């Protein structure tokens, strides 16, 4: 899992650091954000101190109604050892007691001109992406007609060559050789390329090529949701391969299951066309048009009719 610190958020959202500069290296461990309205009112029994605390107009105005001693006591409780930072929205005035306490306890207090709801949404999205569970897979990720296809297989089976043929057919490369996969939601996997390998494709006998330089910016994309996995393997005469497509195999990455197809490789097979059609057929199935099921139903009707005759 990636590490996010308060200083990263300051840079990402161009926040104004008001006080507590010594604590900017504090880690942010959760994407959840807290608006401590009840806490400022005195209810600290369930205070989620490990979250970023977001103070909007309601919270700031309420603190102005408190007595000075009481206001300082609440700010002391708000600035715990676990709190990664406190953010004031709408460029509101920061309570003096909060500035004093945050300096004493090294809790960063920041400010943004953005509205509270909009900033909370952007901050949550940023943290969910940065803190999402991450793994790396050996393979190629290509965007084919809007379907994120992860091509896997043993080294030398032809993954990169197939990706090159798909790029020539107008599809877009996301990552080659190493695909970094993040689970940004319970059923959502997003693949990206490591920064070092971005836009690069390795072809044996040719070397490393820059896809964006040769084919243009439209031939690459920075990330793509993975919805289909195609595993390439050398043809095995003794193995039974699915010929109808009725049995749908699944592969599990983190908590998400995605459809997996196994495509045998042998001389003369146009893998680029096969994978392109697999992506189109996958889209068709998601739209409710399953050719394999239609064929099976028609076959069953014919067999039933012959038995009746």
Instruction: Give the residue numbers spanning the domain of 143.
Output: 134-296
Strand partners, 207: 203
List pLDDT tens digits, range 261-287: 988 888 878 899 999 999 998 888 877
Q: Is 157 annotated as a binding residue?
A: yes
Q: How far apart, in whole angstroms, are the C-alpha atoms of residue 309 and residue 115?
A: 74
Q: Confirm or deny that 153 is annotated as ligand binding.
A: yes
**What are the residues whose beta carbons fall under 8 Å from the beta carbon of 45, sequence distance 6 or more?**
none
139 and 256 inside one domain = yes
- The Cα-based distances of 244 to 7, 27, 294, 295 in angstroms read 55, 52, 11, 9
Mean pLDDT over 36-53 rounds to 92
282 plus 190 within the same structural domain = yes
Is 155 marked within a binding site? yes
pLDDT range class, residue 245, cuts 50, 70, 90: low
Q: Give the model's pLDDT for residue 21.
A: 93
Q: Which of 63, 95, 130 is at the close of a domain?
A: 130
If you average pLDDT over every residue of the chain, what do you get? 89
Contact 271, 164 (CB under 8 A): no
In the prediction, which pLDDT does 118 show?
94
Alpha carbons 279 and 156: distance in angstroms, whole number? 23
Res. 179: pLDDT tops 90: yes
Q: Are residues 165 and 186 in the same domain?
A: yes
Would you say residue 90 has pLDDT above 90?
yes
pLDDT at site 309: 60
pLDDT of residue 241: 67
Torsion region of 187: left, alpha or beta (phi above 0 gives left; psi -120 to 50 gives alpha) = alpha
> What's the pLDDT score for residue 266?
84
Judgement on whether residues 187 and 58 belong to the same structural domain of the protein: no
In this predicted structure, what is the pLDDT of residue 218?
92
What confidence tier does 149 reach under pLDDT thresholds 50, 70, 90? Answer: very high
CATH of the domain at 29: 3.40.1390.20
159 known member of a binding site:
yes
Which residues of 76-222 form beta strands (DSSP E)?
A: 86-88, 109-111, 134-138, 140-144, 147-153, 172-175, 178-185, 188-192, 200-203, 207-210
What is the Cα–Cα distance from 76 to 116, expressed in whole angstroms?
A: 23
* Cβ proximity of 92 and 64 under 8 Å: no
Domain harbouring 191, CATH code: 3.40.50.300
Q: Is 156 annotated in some ligand binding site? A: yes
Q: Does pLDDT of 1 surpass 60?
A: no
148 domain-assigned: yes
DSSP state of 55: E
Clarify whether residues 123 and 235 are in a common domain.
no
Tell me what pLDDT residue 76 has: 93
Q: Is residue 168 part of a domain?
A: yes
* Residue 292: per-residue pLDDT: 62
Active site residues: 138, 159, 177, 243
Q: Which of the two residues, 248 and 36, has the higher pLDDT score?
A: 36
For residue 249, what pLDDT is reported?
A: 84
- Domain count within the chain: 2
Mean pLDDT score, 221-246: 83
Q: Which of 74, 106, 130 is the last residue of a domain?
A: 130
- For the cut 70, the answer to whether the pLDDT of residue 51 exceeds it is yes
Query: 113, 130, 147 — which closes off a domain?
Result: 130
């Amino acid at each position: 899992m990636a590490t996010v610190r308060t200083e990263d958020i300051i840079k990402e959202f161009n926040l104004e650091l008001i006080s507590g500069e010594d604590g900017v290296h504090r880690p942010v461990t959760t994407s959840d954000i807290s608006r401590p309205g009840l806490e400022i009112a005195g209810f600290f029994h369930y205070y989620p101190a490990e979250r970023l605390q977001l103070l909007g107009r309601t919270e700031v105005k309420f603190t102005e109604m408190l007595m000075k001693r009481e206001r300082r006591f609440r700010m002391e409780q708000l600035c715990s050892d676990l709190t990664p930072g406190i953010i004031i929205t709408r460029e509101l005035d920061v309570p003096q007691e909060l500035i004093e306490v945050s300096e004493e306890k090294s809790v960063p207090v920041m400010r943004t001109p953005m509205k509270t709801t909009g900033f909370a949404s952007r901050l949550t999205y940023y943290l969910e992406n940065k803190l999402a569970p991450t793994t790396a897979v050996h393979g190629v990720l290509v965007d084919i007609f809007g379907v994120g296809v992860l091509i896997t297989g043993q080294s030398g089976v032809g993954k990169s060559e197939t990706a090159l043929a798909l790029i020539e057919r107008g599809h877009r490369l996301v990552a080659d050789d190493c695909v970094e996969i993040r689970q940004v939601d319970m059923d959502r996997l997003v693949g990206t390329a490591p920064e070092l390998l971005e836009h690069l494709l390795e072809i044996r006998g040719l070397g490393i090529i820059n896809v964006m330089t040769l084919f243009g910016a439209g031939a690459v994309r920075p990330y793509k949701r993975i919805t289909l996995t195609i595993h390439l393997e050398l043809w095995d005469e003794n193995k039974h391969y699915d010929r109808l497509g009725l049995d749908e195999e699944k592969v599990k990455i983190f908590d998400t299951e995605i459809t997996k197809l196994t495509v045998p490789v042998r001389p003369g097979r146009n893998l680029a066309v096969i994978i392109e059609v697999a992506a189109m057929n996958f889209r068709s199935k998601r739209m409710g048009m399953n050719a394999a099921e239609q064929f099976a139903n028609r076959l069953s009707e014919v067999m039933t009719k012959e038995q009746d005759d």
